[in-house]
Structure 1
Amino acid sequence: MTGATPRAVIFGCAGMRLSAAERALFAQAQPWGAILFARNIETPEQLVALTSDLRDAVGRDMPVLIDQEGGRVQRMRPPYWRNWPPALEQCLHAHDPARAMYLRGRLIAAELRSCGLDVNCAPLADIARDITHPVLHNRCYGTAVDQVVAHARAMARGLMAGGVLPVLKHIPGHGRAQADSHLDLPVVSAAHVDLTQSDFAAFRALADLPLGMTAHVLFSQLDANLPATLSPTMIGLIRKEIGFQGLLMTDDISMHALNGPVSARGNAALAAGCDLVLHCNGDLNEMAELAETCPALEGGALARSDAALSLRSAPDDSDLAALDAEYARLSA
């Protein structure tokens, strides 16, 4: 395994196997991690081969990420993997929802680890409201700060017990957004004091988690011009007011909430204080462009990366069949 310092970027790939061009780019660029989507997944055997090939291409034990929240956002699905209900449905209706979320995290982790995945882009600490856009609403873990914190903490604990690192999202809060940031830039006009008491409070209570993801949301009362991902003001708020000291990645830099070439977006995110640029669509030309502009990790970002990755561990020795049965009882 090489000792190359990883670059401040996470890449996707186009299909179910690495192309020769993708392999060469991964080897040269040395991204911090790779992220997989439904387009990359067919069978357990194929997924194991792909995660192995990704690590082989960079020559190190590179983190491999996925969005396996459950509900609408689950890249691994039946017949090989469990179909999970929407998180909000479970959190509002399960018997002992915090325990159910722990079990959900632990069982998801088992599925991920069996296929070579070791980072999950969950939990969410966004608060569901009547106005929350449908793209997010039933993915949330509750409608009040205390609910969201308890359930997100439980999900994170379950993932980590299963040897998978959690990614806290979407910092500093996406729940008030009434637009889909995949398509448009949401604008939240709430006052700072209101955000501090609700949206920001949920993330503040979870600020010790090792990895986090920003929100492509413009908070007009705090920075009238830039979405949080690109805003030095908002990244400063994430670090200081919210107190998140973990490794901070952008949401997908290719989403339509942001404008301009991906290289300019990536540079702006890093200049604002993000540690990693997340690029998901698998476009080889865009990835090559980012590889030219995203530097190797250094300084505080490298220290935060080392701290996060030091928490990767083997799964505990839980009886998964017993946990599965308990989860079924609580979710009935």
Structure 2
Amino acid sequence: MPKAFICGCAGLALSREERAFVRESDPWGLIVFKRNVDDRDQLRDLIRTFRDSVGRADAPVLIDQEGGRVQRMAPPRWRAYPSAGAIEAGLSPFEAESAARLIARLIAHDLSEVGITVDCAPVLDVAELATHAVIGSRAFSQRPERVAAMGRAFAEGLLAGGVLPVVKHLPGHGRARADSHHELPVVEASRKELERDFLPFAELRDLPMAMSAHVVFSALDPVRPATASRIVVQEIMRGKVGFAGLIMSDDVSMKALRGPFDERARTIFEAGLDIVLHCNGELEEARAVASVAPELSGESLRRAGAAMAARVVPQALDLDEAEAKLASIKKTLGVS
């Protein structure tokens, strides 16, 4: 069985050392970033090499392809897509949901072309006026019910294109006033206030995968970030929200977390998450994560299997028609 972690890589191709590492450690999947992307042929070769190295043709390959400023596969070789916030702000509710579904279907087409099977989207964080720019326009709305509706539409578009969505950042990053890439956010909101932010995740709890937030919620666990808190994972993510699918951590190389990487990973597994995500391609850090990652087994193995089974053959897409609709949407929104 593969080990319960996802790794990144340093460049446009796996080095000999990286190939040896993934053969030996057998990560469940690979995540790619802009540093790993040049063109379609290069990306296909990278993904093929990873899957050959782990010996699993269906090994998950992930990317963050949201639209707006989070697009790892970007122009000029791929289409540009508007941000989540721009879609919701610039269109009527019905039009916005249709646009989100269409955009996600086109993103799924882009990903499927090169062999990527998982998109770390949609963002289900509920925005506020003071939401940190790290989320900003990545959030659909300040209204939880609209976040849920738009997130559902986006997820449906991905699934129709044969790509699995990952909802994030469970149980909600919108109240954070700091960027978890650089420091640990602490949210002082009451339990009642936080429950408003849980709504989109609860509405989409049937989806196959979610990603946790590196955020301390003082009303829930004043000591540990949600990612590493058994209280938050078991009582909120699994309990109150009712998310039954696979839950992976956000990137453990983010500076919100402290300590050696084996300890970071160990506390996440002890909290009850299924998969640890390590993104930056630093091989020694990845080795430390791999050293404590167990083989997928039990409920985590079942959830991983159920997630992969949710991926279906893509529905037919009239690409010319879809691109014309996208151009019309972007014109309405005033974005390029």
C-alpha contact 2:145 2:199 (8 A) present in aligned 1: no
Distance 1:85 1:311 in 2: 27
- Following the alignment from structure 1 to structure 2, what is the Cα–Cα distance between the partners of residues 125 and 146? 10
Q: Tell me by how many angstroms 1:164 deviates.
A: 0.3
Q: Distance in 2 between matches of 1:162 and 1:138?
A: 24
Match of 1:235 in 2: 233
For residue 7 of structure 2, what is the amino acid of its counterpart? F
* Deviation at residue 67 of structure 1 after TM alignment: 0.3
Does the Cα contact within 8 Å between 2:148 and 2:199 map onto a contact in 1? no
Aligned to 1:315: 314
Q: 1:215 aligns with which of 197, 204, 213?
A: 213
SS of the residue 1:108 aligns to: helix
Which residue among 27, 35, 46 is the counterpart of 1:50?
Answer: 46
Q: How far apart are the structure 2 equivalents of 1:300 and 1:68?
A: 28
CA offset at residue 143 of structure 1?
1.2
Moved more, 175-184 or 321-330: 321-330
Q: Give the secondary structure class of the aligned counterpart of 1:250.
A: strand
The match for 1:270 is: 269
Does 2:168 align with 1:169?
Answer: yes
Letter paired with 2:75: P
Structure 1 counterpart of 2:27, one-letter code: P
> How much has 1:84 moved relative to structure 2?
1.6
Superposed CA offset, 1:42-82 (max 9, x none): 11110111111111110102000000011111101111101
**2:121 aligned partner:** 122
Q: Any unmatched runs of 5+ in structure 1?
A: none
Aligned amino acid, residue 227 of structure 1 = P
Q: Distance in 2 between matches of 1:312 and 1:139?
A: 24
Deviations 1:179-223 (A, max 9, x none): 000001111111111111x10111111111100000000000110
Q: Where does residue 68 of structure 1 map in the other structure?
A: 65
Amino acid at match of 2:59: M
C-alpha separation in 2, matches of 1:36 and 1:106: 20
Structure 2: distance between partners of 1:266 and 1:320: 42
SS across alignment from 2:223: coil
Structure 2 unaligned regions, length at least 5: none
How many residues of Structure 1 are paired with residues of Structure 2 in the alignment? 327
In structure 2, the partner of 1:86 is 83
Deviation at 1:160, TM superposition (A): 0.5
Output the CA distance in 2 between the equivalents of 1:148 and 1:19.
41
Does structure 1 residue 287 correspond to structure 2 residue 283? no
2: distance between equivalents of 1:79 and 1:318? 22
1:132 match: secondary structure: coil
The normalised TM-score by structure 2 is 0.96
SS in 1 for 2:102: helix
Q: Which amino acid aligns with 1:16?
A: L
Pick aligned residue for 1:11 from 7, 11, 30:
7
Give me the whole-angstrom Cα distance separating, in 1, the residues matched to 2:16 and 2:64.
Answer: 25
- CA distance in 2: counterparts of 1:222 and 1:43, whole angstroms: 44
Partner-residue secondary structure (3-state), 2:273 = coil
Shift of 1:297: 0.6
Is the counterpart of residue 259 in structure 1 residue 237 in structure 2?
A: no
Q: Post-superposition shift, 1:284?
A: 0.7
**Distance (whole Å) between structure 1 residues aligned to residue 253 and residue 154 of structure 2:** 27
Residue-by-residue CA offset, 1:203-249 (whole Å, 9 max, x unaligned): 11111110000000000011010000000000011001000000000
Is the Cα–Cα contact under 8 Å of residues 99 and 329 in structure 2 kept in the other structure? yes
Structure 2 Cα separation of the partners of residues 194 and 139 of structure 1: 21
Secondary structure of 2:193's counterpart equals helix
Name the SS for the 2:250 alignment partner: coil
Structure 2 residue matching 1:8: 3-state secondary structure = strand
Displacement of 1:114 after TM fit? 0.3
Q: How big is each residue's C-alpha offset from its partner over 1:266-308, in whole Å with a ceiling of 9 and x where there is no partner? A: 0000100100000000011111111111010110000000000
- Equivalent residue, structure 1, for 2:304: 305
C-alpha contact 2:167 2:210 (8 A) present in aligned 1: yes
Query: Equivalents in 1 of 2:212, 2:259: separation in Å?
Result: 18
> Normalising to structure 1: TM-score of the pair?
0.97
